[in-house]
Amino acid sequence: MPDYCISRRQLLQLALTATLSGPAKVLADTTDGQGLILSAFDDQHGQHFFGGFDELGSQRFAVPLPGRAHGIAIHPSGSVCAVIARRAGTFLSIVSLPEGRHLQTLNNPAQRRFYGHAAFSPDGQRLFTSENDYEHQRGVIGVWQWDGQQLRRTDEWLSGGEGPHEVIMHPDGQLLVANGGVITHPDTGRDMLNLDTMHPNLSFIDIQTGQVSRQLNLPSALQRLSIRHLSVSSSGVIACALQYAGGVTLPDSASKVVPLLALLRPHDDHLQLVHLPEGPEFHHNYIGSVCWDSEGRWLALTAPQGSRAYFFNALPLAENSAGRWGPGITYSDTCGITQDSVAGSFIISSGSGGVISYSPIDGDWQPMPDRFARRQRWDNHMARA
């Protein structure tokens, strides 16, 4: 058994027998319902749920859902979260934490569809949802505000592009929007209707005015690289996970592989594109999720279509270097990923069933011991409350 696994279990034992601080206290907190790891999942009968489990994979709650869910937005207080339907969805559930009570269901307005993700404002007073205005073929941000104990829609902003997917808050208080550039319509499901005219971008929205304050685009030769998912490090480095909508190679450069990671460091004026360490035969030019570790040094990306996970050390070794890749791993239908309680380590889930903890620093890998985590078929995203 790897030393990392022993260390994790030793900490749990300490949590039960000693006065604790530091990492051991993190594990002890899970017995009080804190330190929750959250994700949507399907059980063995194909029923849809949203669940929470602790550091060892033990169930804390499971809330039935009306359909398959995708992203999770946690309120700054940690007292509630939003669970958003898979694109192009029609529901959003508000769930209390840590006990996991369903509080409210939000439904999309007419001619709108939820696009999989949401984010709470820093003060917790508003919820921002990525949406598709399919009649006008444009992306919008739904603005929802607390009215007592319920959220109600109060405004709508343009997202700055088409097909907005993940939205997160930047440390400077602006809303980051991954405008994927893809137009879809409910009548044609998830079919991409504008492959030849895609214009993906990363937009910053001033949440006081609802206006786009800054926008970064990919090179025109990479117009079919859809910006899909976002993560921002403790030092403010933005990571964008990309998906290529034009096949496994660029039409004008068949000998090259498309970059699937874009980084924006503080004070930079352009996206730094990074190629994965393997070719498209391994990842199928599709990254499903991206996450920084708690120190903002290691970045994890998952490629569910290739059952691969990649780990990038983003501390540059030289002035012109983006960083360096650590060894990747194979894990069946892996997509969901979130920070572990230990720096440089991640919790990773499988759509085939199972959750592991993994550290790219020393390659230690441990399946979650509790059978609840092992038996469920986990959806694409995870979050730590």
pLDDT of 198 higher than 50: yes
**Confidence grade of residue 255 (pLDDT, cut at 50, 70, 90):** very low
> Does the global pTM surpass 0.95?
no
Write down the pLDDT at residue 247: 56
Write down the pLDDT at residue 5: 46
**Confidence grade of residue 53 (pLDDT, cut at 50, 70, 90):** very high
Write down the pLDDT at residue 205: 98
Write down the pLDDT at residue 321: 62
Q: Provide the percentage of residues in the chain whose pLDDT is more than 90.
A: 75
The predicted-structure confidence for 7-49, as pLDDT tens digits, reads as follows 553 454 355 455 445 544 545 554 454 589 999 999 989 999 9
Q: What is the mean pLDDT of residues 114-128?
A: 97
Residue at 34: amino acid letter: Q
